[in-house]
Amino acid sequence: MKNKNFLIYFTVAVVFCFTLFIIKYINDTRNDYQKISEKILFQQASTLFNNIVTIRKWSSDHGAIYVKAHEGIKPNPYLPDNHTYTKDDELLIKINPAWMTRQISEISNAKEKYYFKITSLNPINPKNIPDEFEKRALKHLQKNKNDLYYTSLGNEKYDFMGSLKIEPSCLNCHTNQNYVVGDVIGGLRVSIPIDHYKENVEIVDSKTNILYFVTFFTSIVFIVIITFTIHSIYTRELNIMKLNKTLENKVNQRTKELREANKKLLEISTTDYLTNLSNRRYFFEMGNKTFHLAKREKSKFSIICIDIDFFKHINDTYGHNIGDEVLKYIANKMSKSIRKSDIVARTGGEEFTILLNNTDENSAFILAEKLRTSVENSVYKTDDLMIQVTISLGISELRQEDEDLDSIISRADRALYIAKKDNRNRTVIYRF
């Protein structure tokens, strides 16, 4: 769960940082476009300014020009030596650079959308008195003589003020104003409408806002999808883990049940159903292993064959149910008499066989007599019956020439036959 939360937080952080980067890029692009648009306005205004300044300089270099008097033009009252006559007495009116600049500006202002105005903080002509922008611009240019222009972007127009400096020819008209060559005498204002600029900026702003929205929306969608995917993956893994755990528990349970079933099957297959002693199959399986081990290790190994005396008479007299109880009774006596390392099995109807590890025939005889005496000295009792039971026993031990378990059992069985023939209730060791 911690890994899931960390992965979600990390993904959100990455998407958030990437979103900020995209937004910054969009904003920087918008600002760059606006700067480029403002630069285009500046270049347009400075080009118009330079065109006027070039004409002005031409006029200044020639010490002003003279034009024939005609309707609509009179000598400039603010200009000394403002006219002259030809040899034919034709009136020539003097046009100095400042007056030329004003006339060109007025013609342009009447025909074009652009606006020109020549102005000064100390104008000779009252028409050249500056407005608030022009005052601010001229003061800035006088204070910062290295600056060639001053600009301002308003709501309706772009204002450009270029400085006009004193040329030698200018001193003819401004001798009383204490100017020297290089001083800022005034400025030429150029105003450009910004309708197209504003329209383009509004379009860019609109598209920028759309890009902002798309970026935010896309980021949120990505975060939701990635978070949902991570959550789904971890939920699926959790479900898989739960299923695996459940399956593992079921497998363990089934394995346990199978082991118990196998254990029961093994018990059923190796245990006599009536006496709970080992059955004939188990006896011979373990007996053969014990036989070969004893042969290899050259150790002692004995077999006792046991038969209940007159068992047929008990069945015939008291019934098979009592006979079965007698079998259980004898089996219980034998189970209590042998060691855990020995094996006692029911190998026939009323026949039993005991396998004794590391035991010679004499020691086996002692155990057999103890068992025979225990049975002889006890009585099988029920509520209304008392039955005296005895057993006969035959013993044989492993011999070097024996090649299989059956050889030993065969000798013990012959000894048992001798014990039963000799009045029963006795133990016989095979010594032939």
Catalytic positions, written as ranges: 350
- Sheet with 157-165, strands from edge to edge, namely 115-119, 184-193, 157-165, 149-153
427-429 vs 391-397, strand pairing mode = parallel
Q: Cα 193 from chain centroid?
A: 57
Query: 126, 20, 141, 150: which is closest to 77 by C-alpha?
Result: 126
Q: Please answer whether residues 353 and 344 qualify as being in contact, where contact means their C-beta atoms are separated by less than 8 angstroms.
A: yes
Strand partners, 397: 302
Q: Please answer whether residues 94 and 75 qualify as being in contact, where contact means their C-beta atoms are separated by less than 8 angstroms.
A: yes
For residue 423, is it left (φ>0), alpha (ψ between -120 and 50) or beta? left
Rounded CA separation 358/298 (Å) = 10
Q: Please answer whether residues 264 and 255 qualify as being in contact, where contact means their C-beta atoms are separated by less than 8 angstroms.
A: no
Residues 6+ apart with CB under 8 A from 69: 83, 90, 91, 92, 93
Residues 6+ apart with CB under 8 A from 113: 192, 193
In the block, tokens 């270029």 appear at 162
